[in-house]
Amino acid sequence: MTVPDEPPQDPITAYLLNTFRGVCRGRRYISGMGGVFPMPLSAREISDWLDARPSPIPREEVDDVIFELDRLFMDQGDEEEED
């Protein structure tokens, strides 16, 4: 099976997706007897990333997008646990 090419992205979308990927590298995890589970991203992880890489986009808009992408990521993990 061939992997399809990524759809074209405008620079803002590409920037926000790359920012999300970068912020996720600082994600915290909880470990216990049941396994290791990701915690939702906090403003601290976003701030740490943006302190090192200032954004051309207003912080409020970056937060809105990153938190929504994180919600989708966390919901995906919840669905996998139910299966």
Question: Which residues is 31 bridged to in the sheet?
Answer: 36
22 pLDDT higher than 90? yes
Distance CA 2, CA 16 (A): 27
Q: What is the b/e burial string over 41-65, where b = at least 16 CB atoms within 10 angstroms of the residue's CB? A: beeebbeebbeeeeeeeeeeebeeb
Residue showing tokens 């803002």: 12
77 pLDDT higher than 70? yes
Q: What is the pTM of this model?
A: 0.81
